[in-house]
A and B are shown apart, each in its own frame.
Chain A
Amino acid sequence: MALPLKYNFRNVIVRWRSTLATVLGIALVVAVFVLLRALARGIEASSANTGDARNILVVRKGSQAESGSIVTREHFRTIQYLDEIARNERGEPIISAELVLIVSAPRRNGTGEANTLIRGVTPRGMELRPQVKLVDGRWFVPGKREVVVARRLAARFAGFEIGGVIKSGQDRLAVVGHFDAAGSAFDSESWMDADEARSIFDRENYSSILLRPADATAATNLITRLERDKRLALRAEREVDYYSKQTMTAVPIKILAGLLGTAMSIGAVFAAMNTMYASVASRTREVGTLRVLGYSRRAIVLCFLIEGALLAAMGGVVGCLLALPLNGYATGTMDFQSFAETVFQFRVTPDLMLMGLAFSVIIGVAGSLLPALRAARLPVIVALKSI
């Protein structure tokens, strides 16, 4: 039978100075671990939230992102009359040819300029994205040089407030409203009228086409048809699939999280080991006494492993609490697909915190293993004679 948990708990409390140092050390490691993953999770979530399973996005074959794609007006004319496309109550095909552009804008915090995405949309394009809702001001008027900016993006760029002006070369776009895109990738965009965008930015063609097929069979048929048509050289895929591939932006952050996590956890293991070695050294006679009373070597090993895990779990809890206030905090990074600023929120989810806790316990157990074995291997008589 193992020693009672209160024995470990009280020992951890009694040695509060070394406990505090170790707990704080492990807490920092766990906080960084959780936050880096919360960052990656936020980027993934913003892409994952974006698509509608019923929509199909058409881009040029070989292009990685909409901003690097060209769909000609001829392509659009060909596609919009295809039978597979659903029609609204007015009998119009639900299809939107859109233009995606990159405009450089000054950051609000004065750290220079960054690229942001401007999307030229049509009324159909807005119908296809019901998650995008106006929260302040009004929508742009087609034919006018007006733009509606994502609220989260507005918080990060100067001139993106209502009444502000977005400059691009000689052109000026008046900000007339803010929208909220429910944490999706559109939260990193500014929207304006598609034809006006083509006119201002002097573009002959579009970047992409978003459409709604009549049903699932029509969707499959349409994808096959567009893929097979060699003249078009277009790629059609479900909108959700397109955006799930955009989560590539999270990959470098995940790699960084892995590298930093590994390096810091090695340090934390040594910190835990140091504390546990000190703990074992100061309790050698206690270990001898427990052995005399009949506790086996295994019970002693288990006792110190539990104590190390307990110590580290305390650090894990503190680390999660340190990370928690950043939950929902919006920040931005460069999207490696579009090379424009992408806005997302830290997502410190319960499962991430559980991962953080498990991570801390692993650190604790790894750090306690050698001290625990040392304690258990001591001959009883040697342990008893220790001062």
Chain B
Amino acid sequence: MTVPNIVTIRDLTKTYQQGEINVTALNNISLDIEAGEYLTLMGPSGSGKSTLLHIIAGVDRPTSGECRVQGIDVTRLNESDLADWRNQNVGFVFQSFNLIPVLTAFENVELPLLLTRLSRKQRREQVNTALELVGLLDRRHHLPKQLSGGQEQRVAIARAIVTDPALIVADEPTGNLDSASTQEALGILQSLTRTAGKTVIMVTHDPKAAAFGSRSIHLEKGELVNE
């Protein structure tokens, strides 16, 4: 039985202007990602891996080409539709956690749900479930500054999964973590693909982190090298 593709990329190119120089970040990339995969994107700085991740997640736009996620060409959505689409379909995990410092762990995780039609009670249940999954239910009333780096990243993972998206993207999620926290965070992402059937796409420099993935692809100078 063939597994359907969750992401289909065709002839994707991204160029941008840096001063007077025209930089090609992605050069005519085509790629398929199956649902339930734990794909790691590797490559040196400036290879275009983060740009690729951002385009898949609907945060950046390509210069040309097509990027279909669950059948929808995200490159053609307008700004407002793209914001809704991101809210419903993609969970983000950032290198610097990007938690809102004035909100508690619970309130941070609840943020994406405030854009849905869920009732207060339903939101509370979903937030508690997500926090329990990352083992931080007892810290739900803590502010980010009262948490360790590893705990902050686990709250960020809870925020990424709270809307139950099919796709989770992570940009260097372990870049700011110690080795114990790295193992913990990567373990959670791995279990999401294995037990919940989520698709995880992760950008990393670290080969040990990449080893958690089910497939790894490399980029160099905006091109795929050894898929």
A381 pairs with B54, CB closer than 8 A: yes
Kindly state the separation between the CA atoms of A290 and B83 in the bound complex, as whole angstroms: 10
| CB contact under 8 A between A7 and B83, given known A294-B112, A294-B115 | no
* Complex interface: chain B residues within 8 A of A291 (CB): 83
A296 pairs with B83, CB closer than 8 A: yes
Kindly state the separation between the CA atoms of A297 and B79 in the bound complex, as whole angstroms: 9
Q: Is B66 part of the binding interface, using a Cβ–Cβ cutoff of 8 Å?
A: no
Q: Is B111 part of the binding interface, using a Cβ–Cβ cutoff of 8 Å?
A: yes
A292 pairs with B86, CB closer than 8 A: yes
Interface class of chain B by DSSP: helix
A14 pairs with B115, CB closer than 8 A: no
Interface string of B173-202 (1 = CB under 8 A from A): 000000000000000000000000000000
Out of B87, B96, B107, which one reaches A293, CB within 8 Å?
B87
| CB contact under 8 A between A295 and B115, given known A7-B100, A7-B103, A10-B102 | yes
User: Residue of A at shortest CB range from B169?
Assistant: A292
Chain A, range 1-58, C-beta contacts under 8 Å to B: 1, 3-4, 6-7, 10-11, 14
* Complex interface: chain A residues within 8 A of B84 (CB): 294
A381 pairs with B100, CB closer than 8 A: no
Interface string of B108-128 (1 = CB under 8 A from A): 000110110000000000000
Kindly state the separation between the CA atoms of A291 and B57 in the bound complex, as whole angstroms: 12
* Complex interface: chain B residues within 8 A of A293 (CB): 86-87, 92, 111-112, 115, 159
Size of A's binding interface in residues, CB under 8 A: 23
Out of B54, B88, B102, B112, which one reaches A14, CB within 8 Å?
B102
Q: Is B45 part of the binding interface, using a Cβ–Cβ cutoff of 8 Å?
A: no
Q: Is B101 part of the binding interface, using a Cβ–Cβ cutoff of 8 Å?
A: yes
B83 pairs with A286, CB closer than 8 A: no
User: Residue of A at shortest CB range from B160?
Assistant: A293
Out of B60, B86, B100, B112, which one reaches A286, CB within 8 Å?
B100
Kindly state the separation between the CA atoms of A18 and B132 in the bound complex, as whole angstroms: 38
Q: Is B214 part of the binding interface, using a Cβ–Cβ cutoff of 8 Å?
A: no
B83 pairs with A294, CB closer than 8 A: yes
Q: Is B80 part of the binding interface, using a Cβ–Cβ cutoff of 8 Å?
A: yes
Q: Is A384 part of the binding interface, using a Cβ–Cβ cutoff of 8 Å?
A: yes
User: Residue of B at shortest CB range from A385?
Assistant: B50
* Complex interface: chain B residues within 8 A of A7 (CB): 100, 102-103, 107
User: Residue of A at shortest CB range from B100?
Assistant: A286
Kindly state the separation between the CA atoms of A291 and B54 in the bound complex, as whole angstroms: 13
* Complex interface: chain B residues within 8 A of A285 (CB): 96, 98
Q: Is A380 part of the binding interface, using a Cβ–Cβ cutoff of 8 Å?
A: yes
Whole-angstrom distance between the Cβ of A238 and the nearest chain B Cβ? 61
Interface string of A152-187 (1 = CB under 8 A from B): 000000000000000000000000000000000000
Q: Is B38 part of the binding interface, using a Cβ–Cβ cutoff of 8 Å?
A: no
Out of B54, B60, B114, which one reaches A4, CB within 8 Å?
B114
A381 pairs with B59, CB closer than 8 A: yes
* Complex interface: chain B residues within 8 A of A80 (CB): none
Whole-angstrom distance between the Cβ of B86 and the nearest chain A Cβ? 5
Kindly state the separation between the CA atoms of A12 and B56 in the bound complex, as whole angstroms: 35
B94 pairs with A289, CB closer than 8 A: yes
User: Residue of B at shortest CB range from A291?
Assistant: B83
Whole-angstrom distance between the Cβ of A135 and the nearest chain B Cβ? 57
Out of B87, B94, B98, which one reaches A294, CB within 8 Å?
B87
B59 pairs with A292, CB closer than 8 A: yes
7 A-B contacts (beta carbon < 8 Å): A3-B111, A7-B100, A7-B103, A292-B86, A293-B86, A293-B92, A295-B83
Additional pairs, 15, CB under 8 Å, beyond known A3-B111, A384-B98: A1-B115, A4-B107, A286-B98, A286-B101, A289-B98, A290-B100, A293-B111, A294-B112, A294-B115, A296-B79, A296-B80, A380-B59, A380-B60, A381-B59, A384-B94
Q: Which residues of B contact A (CB under 8 A)?
A: 54, 57, 59-60, 79-80, 83-84, 86-88, 92, 94, 96, 98, 100-103, 107, 111-112, 114-115, 159
Closest 8 pairs between A and B when the two form their complex, measured CB to CB? A294-B87, A10-B102, A289-B98, A381-B60, A293-B112, A294-B115, A296-B83, A294-B83
